[in-house]
A and B are shown apart, each in its own frame.
Chain A
């Protein structure tokens, strides 16, 4: 197990370097350091000297990938890519173009992101599985048919519509919850409810359909027939046997997203005024803040890799036949 984990961690290093390189290349294809400087300095009275000073101050006055003027190792180390990327591997993200420490920002924003993402994940999972099992229970009946239709309808509606409709009806028209905002501690509860509700509802269609497919496949297997032959109730068959055996594909989809919950949701956070990592990323992209974009992509990659490793671990936990070697 340890050897397996070590190997996976070592595999992650070249992946992360590749992700970094790709982010770097994509970012600088669209933006030059001069563009970044102009955006930061504003639209007025920006002189070429000011641009040079900004680049020098922020370390963007070096060559991008290879420094021809340098010698030896410095050809690679005295570049924008190396100077801005190497420290990330020890989770030192440096400062954004606005001068704020990225690590501190991430720590501060992780909480609000989790406050939304975690309940959405847990409640969503419960609701979707329950709804899927219900459809499986009533499979081949009008309830199943209309359940599937409902799922397809829910899937077909844009996520943005749920947000706007939720805000309009629940917050504006019925005045039941604040339309947007955030607060720490217990005061934050009213602000969380609406985005959680909207996100859960928006996810029911896709999630339930997916789980229904899994359970339908399981329910046709021999062990289910055996369980029924033993006289077990349909409910027990579903919840005790089908659910347990259907866990592997569920885990594939669920465990992998657990670490990425920290990253928040780009649109939900923006519309509901949640000061999380999703809105941080959106702001950074709009402001062409490469330091933040790069840090968030790196963090996302790390968390995704962690998620994949956790998924592998969970396989062996759910299914004893699976051995990690």
Chain B
């Protein structure tokens, strides 16, 4: 063998040996392609993924879905949403009962429940916590024999070998108290936490704004000192006794009850904050923001947001049972099979970081993830539509016992008109007609079909399905854009749009007096090939009316800036519900919440006094016929004024394997992991069957390499002989 041949062969052998060794390493116990080498099998583990690492796990800060996916399982606010009931229903979590507000006038006199909103100066929520609830094991609670905290006075030497919480030998727990909830409400005002809801809550919770200012002053005065929130009282949150606390709200704010089901109002023990505030902790990324401490069914056992997060069953969990009060559809969907069983139904959940959709989908198809979304790349592989237009899994999915889950999100996408714009804005009849004409021309039924693979419902107004105020069928159609044909809802013909456009002063898309073409500007941050086809589609919609659409692409920051300053004309925007109440959508059109001037969420800067008046009335009402009547009147106004083109309510499609049970989309709840059940034996069998390695390509590759080397070696020998 020649030296060159040896070198090449060595490389091949090296690669082959490495390959085989690695394969054998995994092959001893797992499939060769298992992404969980060495992990225990047949355990009640949920395998899931996250595409973006969470930024914050502090309940005062975490807000986005990729964060509450974790905090929702760890922290327990006083209330939660019922897993099965629809419409969404609040039930107690750590509270004894869902609190009913008591109302007081400006003199502090109690008012009846049906007191008019104007008379109510304050609402008071008294919350009773169930006794006996304990925190997860944590070193912050560990005490020595003398009862002193073991780890509350650590020096640099004691921290030297600590990099994770597992490095602390002792852990402890303690009972949850009402003071922990009050402590967390104060934390919302902490200047160092920048809680995203501080601005909103300081308008509602008595004294929270003042507390924020006080804490800010204190922090400025002593920048290096740790603020002890127990030293700063908050008028709007007080501890009554060990298990009772009260929250005082300015005026009436019925939607506040929904916030009590979010991690923002979950308890935080002062011990945890004191523990993490010690010098040297933050340098090791040991902070409350990254190491949550809760009473929930799971605790964060492994926290590596760069790779994987592991939730494990909290050994001190207070116990909760799977709900038994589902309806017939739930029973039929086998969602009541575990009724009454103690929660959680799994011991562990492994979330792996998966940024790209291709590996995510492949692993799901190989059985390494229990459930998956459906990207546009894999849509045709996963979903087909029946003759009646209903989505169903394809045959290849059914063969693998993969189930399709669909739900309409509590969200809306819309094209907003800047109501301050001189061309498309304003409340005059001509402008209304212009916007109505454009609303008809933008054929979102077509858009949903072309770009969303049917994953959406044309929107009839700002309220999405599933929320109080939404009316199904032809009774709930937007008469300015759609019309009824029997039980069908059909878009108005383009002739109607052209007529409206002419009445608006733009016959055939040209100004009636000057003859100038109507040119509109669409601001967007969308870019890339996918966006181009969508934007071309938008231009085409207005071409039908003879109106020109100029697309102004920009980056996220500039786009936000334009919207904030009111420099955009048309723009696309969306909203996800915070809670299941129409107020959470109508407030996007409430005049005093205009983006320009107030920085509110009303990006269209719509301001109709009649709508504003009805909004103020509606937001304080209880659900019922009277509220529906007001909502109907509001819908009529915003449909007529058309400050938005109501585009669509997105429909989310997901897939789950046959071994995953108790999956019912709940768009409000973020603590549903505890209800999930898996069949690990079936999963293991399926994984084994689906992941048998195909070995012939290795042989083929080796053969190919040899075929490549052989003529070279022969030629070399021939040449050596010749030169010799």
Contact = CB atoms under 8 A, between A and B. Distances in A.
Interface of A: 30-32, 35, 38-42, 44-50, 53-54, 56-57, 95, 97-101, 103-105, 108-109, 123, 126-127, 130, 133-134, 137-138, 141, 143, 164, 167-183, 186-187, 189-193, 197, 233-235, 239, 270-273, 275, 279-280, 283, 287
- Count chain B CB atoms within 10 A of each CB in A54, A100, A105, A123 and give the residue with the most: A100
A104 B305 CA distance: 13
B64 A178 contact: no
Contact of A45 (B7, B21, B199): B199
Contacts of B557: 30-32, 35, 38
Interface string B1-38: 01110011001001100110111011000011111011
Contacts of A283: 53
Contact of A137 (B353, B578, B697, B716): B716
Contacts of A126: 11
A182 B307 contact: yes
B283 interface: yes
Contacts of B694: 173-176
Interface in B268-314: 282-285, 287, 289-290, 304, 306-307
Given A173-B694, A176-B697, A45 B283 contact: no
B423 to A, nearest CB: 27
- Count chain B CB atoms within 10 A of each CB in A57, A137, A164, A180 and give the residue with the most: A180
Contacts of B283: 101, 103-104
Contacts of B2: 235
A50 B198 contact: yes
A38 B557 CA distance: 9
A98 B58 CA distance: 11
Contacts of B18: 189, 193
28 contacts: A35-B560, A44-B63, A44-B578, A46-B196, A50-B194, A98-B55, A98-B289, A99-B56, A105-B285, A130-B4, A134-B4, A143-B711, A175-B692, A175-B694, A176-B19, A176-B23, A176-B32, A178-B35, A183-B38, A187-B25, A190-B23, A190-B32, A191-B35, A193-B22, A239-B4, A271-B356, A272-B359, A273-B355
B196 A42 contact: yes
Contacts of B716: 137-138, 235
A53 B194 contact: yes
B362 A179 contact: yes
Contacts of A272: 359
B488 interface: no
Contacts of B698: 176
A271 B355 CA distance: 7
Given A42-B196, A133-B4, A275 B307 contact: yes
A239 B197 CA distance: 69
Nearest to A189: B22
Nearest to B14: A123
A179 B32 contact: no
A54 B55 CA distance: 15
A58 B185 CA distance: 22
Contacts of B617: none
Given A47-B200, A134-B712, 16 more contacts: A35-B560, A38-B560, A50-B199, A56-B191, A57-B192, A101-B285, A105-B285, A130-B7, A138-B712, A138-B716, A143-B715, A176-B698, A193-B18, A234-B723, A273-B352, A275-B353
B599 interface: yes
Q: Which 3 A-B pairs have the closest CB atoms?
A: A47-B199, A275-B306, A180-B359
B403 interface: no
B696 to A, nearest CB: 8
Interface string B158-171: 00000000000000
B366 interface: yes
A172 B363 CA distance: 8
B354 interface: yes
A273 to B, nearest CB: 6
A132 B21 CA distance: 28
A231 to B, nearest CB: 9
B599 A47 contact: yes
Contacts of A31: 557
Contacts of B31: 175
Contacts of A130: 4, 7-8, 11
B555 interface: yes
- Count chain A CB atoms within 10 A of each CB in B35, B352, B353 and give the residue with the most: B35
Contact of B359 (A44, A48, A189, A273): A273
- Chain B interface size, as a band, is 35 or more
B719 interface: yes
A90 to B, nearest CB: 15
A193 B15 CA distance: 9
A193 B19 contact: yes
B93 to A, nearest CB: 23
Contacts of B560: 35, 38
B359 A271 contact: yes
Contacts of A56: 191
B691 interface: yes
B358 interface: yes
Interface in B25-78: 25-26, 31-35, 37-38, 53, 55-56, 63-64
B355 A279 contact: yes
B178 to A, nearest CB: 26
Contacts of B38: 183, 187
Contacts of B365: 172
B366 A109 contact: no
Interface string B644-685: 000000000000000000000000000000000000000000
B233 interface: no
B697 A101 contact: no
A239 B3 contact: yes
Contact of B693 (A40, A134, A175): A175
Contact of A175 (B32, B194, B304): B32
A235 to B, nearest CB: 5
Contacts of B363: 179-180
B382 to A, nearest CB: 15
A48 B599 contact: yes
Contacts of B192: 57
Nearest to A233: B720
A31 to B, nearest CB: 6
A180 B194 contact: no
Contacts of A108: 306
Nearest to A49: B199
B216 interface: yes
A122 to B, nearest CB: 10
B332 to A, nearest CB: 36
A272 B358 CA distance: 10
Contacts of A30: 555, 557
A275 B303 CA distance: 13
A46 B199 contact: yes
A233 B717 CA distance: 11
A273 B284 contact: no
B359 A179 contact: yes
B255 to A, nearest CB: 13
A190 B25 contact: yes
Contacts of A143: 711-712, 715
Contacts of B691: 175
B601 interface: yes
A190 B306 contact: no
Given A101-B284, A175-B692, A41 B8 contact: no
Contacts of B15: 123, 197
B194 to A, nearest CB: 5
A173 B723 CA distance: 48
A308 B573 CA distance: 49
A50 B716 CA distance: 74
A234 B715 CA distance: 13
Contact of A127 (B11, B53, B194): B11
A180 B369 CA distance: 13
Given A173-B694, A273-B355, A100 B194 contact: no
A172 B306 CA distance: 23
A133 B2 CA distance: 14
